Copies of this chain bind each other. A is one copy, B any other.
């Protein structure tokens, strides 16, 4: 489907940009993708998201939309086919609630843990696991947050879960395990097996190396 002048400013390893890419892909919207150098942001990025100066930014018909969850809502409203949000208002509220929960609780805990060592690391892992366990309750026996097919909350949370799995490997910690979070673990497997998610998935080894590099850099900053 023609995207009528759709352009996305993103970064390969950003789960927030990947949310938008999967939403566009699920809808079959063609778009131009511009990879940003986060150390040297393009004038277009600085100008189109003056408040946060962050990716992702969706440009559509000369207008710019920022904040990944706001962009997902926009995409779902402009291109109504293959809806991302469920039809029922209560289920829509549940999807929004859990996507927001992940951004407000899980993401800070997971990101904060990357730079931690020793007891602080253990504490960070405990906190992240508590939030992930709460997140699991949001599935409420369903296959996906959106019910039976991948939607708004699944693409919003799925990329965070993909990175959390690599984080636990890189830091040799346990964040999500089959035994204590069987429903969440099964959901991650299901979402990451989706053809749209698979196609967009940044390579495991590249993410792993990037995370180790980020950890080393952050630990050096903290110890200086």
- In Å, the complex CA distance between A63 and B93 comes to 11
Kindly supply a per-residue 1/0 record for chain A positions 55-67, scoring 1 wherever the CB is within 8 Å of any chain B CB and 0 otherwise: 0000010010111
Contact B51 A65 (CB under 8 A): no
- B51 A71 Cβ-Cβ under 8 A: no
Closest to A66 in B: B97
Residues of B within 8 A of A51 (CB): 101, 134, 137
Q: Report chain B residues within 8 Å CB of A71.
A: 93
Specify which chain B residues have a CB less than 8 angstroms from the CB of A97 in the assembled complex: 65-67, 70
* A116 adjacent to chain B (CB < 8 Å): no
- CB-defined contacts of A101 to chain B, threshold 8 Å: 51
Could you list which residues of chain A lie within 8 angstroms of chain B, going by C-beta atoms?
Answer: 50-51, 60, 63, 65-67, 69-71, 73-74, 77-78, 89-90, 92-93, 96-97, 100-101, 134, 137
Give Cα distance in the complex from A67 to B94, angstroms: 10
Indicate whether A100 sits within 8 Å of B134 (C-beta atoms), given known contacts A77-B92, A90-B65.
no
Q: A96 and B77 in contact (CB under 8 A), knowing A63-B90, A90-B63, A134-B51?
A: no
Q: Do A100 and B63 contact each other (CB < 8 Å), given the known contacts A51-B134, A78-B89, A89-B77?
A: no
User: Is B100 a contact partner of A74 (Cβ separation < 8 A)?
Assistant: no
A134 → chain B closest CB, angstroms: 6
Chain B residue numbers with a CB within 8 Å of A93 are 65, 70-71, 73-74
- A92: chain B residues within 8 A (beta carbon): 73-74, 77
A74 vs chain B, min Cβ distance (A):
5
* Among candidates B60, B70, B78, residue contacting A96 with C-beta atoms closer than 8 Å: B70
* Top 9 A-B pairs, shortest CB-CB distance: A77-B89, A74-B93, A70-B96, A65-B93, A78-B89, A63-B90, A70-B97, A70-B93, A74-B89
B96 in contact with A73 (CB, 8 Å):
yes
